[in-house]
Homo-oligomer: A and B are copies of this chain.
Amino acid sequence: MQYVSEETLKSISSHKGIVGTILTDSLGIPIKSSMDHATTTQYARYVALIVMKSKNLAADIEPTDTMMLVRVRTKLHELIVVPSEDYYIIIVQKVVVGDEHQHHQHHHQRQ
């Protein structure tokens, strides 16, 4: 089983606006985290369910398809889950208010 290194997690955590990073196994059990135990457990528990349902959806709609990323955006935070065969990386970042506007602008320039 090949996990993400401590350095990689630390470097992600050091990015501006990052609230925390969690590495879990493929069942959603936390392995490493930059956040406290209670918060880590909360995120991991929900993410495991969200990712499982997302994987089921992808496979149900098109069996050859694979789930690549889940993003849950709330008013205060953005949760990004990057699943791989053996583990999930969960990244929690603060929402910067201007972000939405810039993202919207970028989206329109590309169409």
List the interface of chain A (C-beta within 8 A of B).
15-16, 39, 42-43, 46-47, 49-50, 53-54, 56-58, 60-62, 64-77, 79, 102, 106, 110-111
Contact = CB atoms under 8 A, between A and B. Distances in A.
Contacts of A76: 62, 64-65
Nearest to A57: B46
- This protein's copies in its complex: 2
A54 B43 contact: no
B75 A73 contact: no
Given A70-B72, A72-B67, A61 B49 contact: no
Nearest to A49: B53
Given A43-B57, A50-B54, A110-B102, A74 B79 contact: no
